Structure 1
Amino acid sequence: MSNKKIIDSLHDLIQVNQESEKGYKEASENINSKELKTILYRLSQQRALFRGEVEEVLHKDYRDSAEVKDSLASKIHRTWIDFKKSLSKDDDEAILAECERGEEHAIKKYTGTLDGHLPSYIEEIVNQQLILIRGALSQIREFKFEADQA
């Protein structure tokens, strides 16, 4: 178990959560449904908490600053949400589709991190967060289905 590999993996999770936090916040500001505004904003707050948990491990156990810059991909993703909103007649459905895509990306990053190189206490944190992310994806898919049926 290389410390560098652990630190790099934790940086990836921080970035994913930073992107999710910003993406959900932006989605909550652009969606029409008041109920979905609240839910998406809460998911943004949840991702801020996830990021904080991972940053705490980096600071405490690895003395790492945990500074991660916003990736180009996340900026493009948030711009895409705005673009879809401006073109789509069904704004909420388009925004939910982007949220779904973001969650699928987060799950891929999280499962990729769980390759056996993390200490067990960190794997536990990552697994707990992954369970909640999968739950959020299910919820987003439900809302997307409901928007499609309306």
Structure 2
Amino acid sequence: MQNERTVSVLNDLLNITNDRIEGFSKVEDKVWETYSPLKADYDQMVSQSQTMKSELMSLIREKGGDADNTTSTAGAIHRAWIDVKNSFSGDKTESTLENVVFGEEAAIDAYQDALDSGDLCPESSRIVSDQLHHLKSSYNKFSNLNEMKN
């Protein structure tokens, strides 16, 4: 029973990580003309997301589960809303990065909820905690956008 709960929580986090990866693909290169100091950090976030995905999928398999390698419904709705919002927005660059920050906040909350749930085994808790640390670090780099403009 514990493994089933652990697999379920890990699959939720995998969906959220896939949401991050999908959301990152929407950030256009022109954003970096205005926010060039963040480009290296952004590239690191993308790379780290792929590593997080691999770690979660390995944990799920180790627990005897099947990885749900999809995105979440909430993430899909959010990305559709971003597309609509950006089609009417005058400053797509700032709006796009604000959405990155919003997505990171949602991921941090989900990871914290997973840790607080008590449904993770010690090994999974350690890896999820490490991933949460990376999420918070990337969030902190992007949370003060106005200070980051060239």
Pairwise TM-score range, normalised by the shorter structure: 0.7 to 0.9
User: Could you list the per-position Cα deviations for residues 35-93 of structure 1 after superposition, in whole angstroms to 9, with x for gaps in the alignment?
Assistant: 3555434422321210110100111x222220243222211222233233322222221
Distance in 1 separating the partners of 2:54 and 2:92:
31
Partner of residue 93, structure 1: 94
Distance in 1 separating the partners of 2:147 and 2:89:
17
- Taking only aligned residues, the RMSD between alpha carbons, in angstroms, comes to 2.2
Task: State the percentage of identical aligned residues.
Answer: 28
Partner of residue 23, structure 2: 23
Paired residues of 2:15 and 2:68 also in contact (CA < 8 A): no
Paired residues of 2:16 and 2:72 also in contact (CA < 8 A): no
Distance in 1 separating the partners of 2:72 and 2:126:
26
The two structures have a TM-score, normalised by structure 1, of 0.84
Distance in 1 separating the partners of 2:31 and 2:5:
42
Paired residues of 1:103 and 1:137 also in contact (CA < 8 A): yes
Change in CA separation of 1:131 and 1:31 when aligned onto 2, cut-off 3 Å: farther
Change in CA separation of 1:123 and 1:102 when aligned onto 2, cut-off 3 Å: same
Distance in 2 separating the partners of 1:33 and 1:81:
18
Q: Which has the higher contact order (CA 8 A, sep 6+)?
A: 2
Matching residue's letter, 2:125: E
Partner of residue 14, structure 2: 14
Secondary structure of 2:25's match? helix
Structure 2: gaps (5+ residues): none
Partner of residue 137, structure 1: 139
Distance in 1 separating the partners of 2:84 and 2:130:
33
Distance in 2 separating the partners of 1:63 and 1:119:
13
- Tell me the number of residue pairs that the alignment of Structure 1 and Structure 2 aligns: 146
Q: CA deviation at 1:122?
A: 1.2
Distance in 1 separating the partners of 2:76 and 2:86:
15
